[in-house]
Structures are given as C-alpha cells and as structure tokens.
Amino acid sequence: MKVLYNVTVNIDHEAHDDWVDWMQKHHIPDVMATGCFLESKMSRVLAQDMGGITYSIQYLAPDMASYHKYVHQLAPALQQEHTERYEGRFTAFRTILEVIHEEGQS
C-alpha cells in the first residue's frame, strides 16, 4: 500500500519568495534524500482564504513502514530546521492518505 504524505503550508507574503526557493533547493531535496519517498510534488493551492499563500507538498512513500521511519526518525530535525527559519511566518498541517488508485501519465 503506497502512502501519500501531504504537508499543507500557508506562508506569509513577506517570506514567500525566500520560502519557495528554500523549499525547492533545500528542504524537499533533503526530504527526498532520506530514501523514504519515491517522488514529491509541490503545488500552489488556488482556492483558499487564509491570508498568505498556501502550498501543498506531497511525498509518495512506497509503504507505511517507510512513512513511519521518516516521521519518527528523520522528520523532527528537518521540521525543526523549517520552523527555526520561518518561525511565526507560516502555519502547517499534515495529512496521510492511502493511495487507492494510480494511473500513469499520458
């Protein structure tokens, strides 16, 4: 069973450009370097009313064991780095989804 780990982040307008750059060049590559995920995707949420700008960052784990390894052993340090860098300028929540159906890209 593949697992989709979704992190939704709302970032302040003032920190936005730096945050997007840092996520693409540092944070997401660091998460992928853990070896716990098969792929990642970062998307901007178009319909939202939270102030700031909202993004969904999705990581696909091959199984629940890989997800648990990431969350319990590796995520705390990576999340702490994010929190220290952007403290007070973001809100985040996480969702875990079981992948029921997949199709290849056309």
Question: What pLDDT, in 10s, does the model give residues 39-78?
Answer: 999 999 997 666 889 999 999 999 999 999 999 999 999 9
Where along the chain do its domains lie?
A: 3-98
pTM: 0.92
Return the closest-CA partner of residue 38 out of 74, 7, 70: 70
CATH topology of domain 3-98: Alpha-Beta Plaits (3.30.70)
- Euclidean distance between CA atoms 95 and 106, whole angstroms: 27
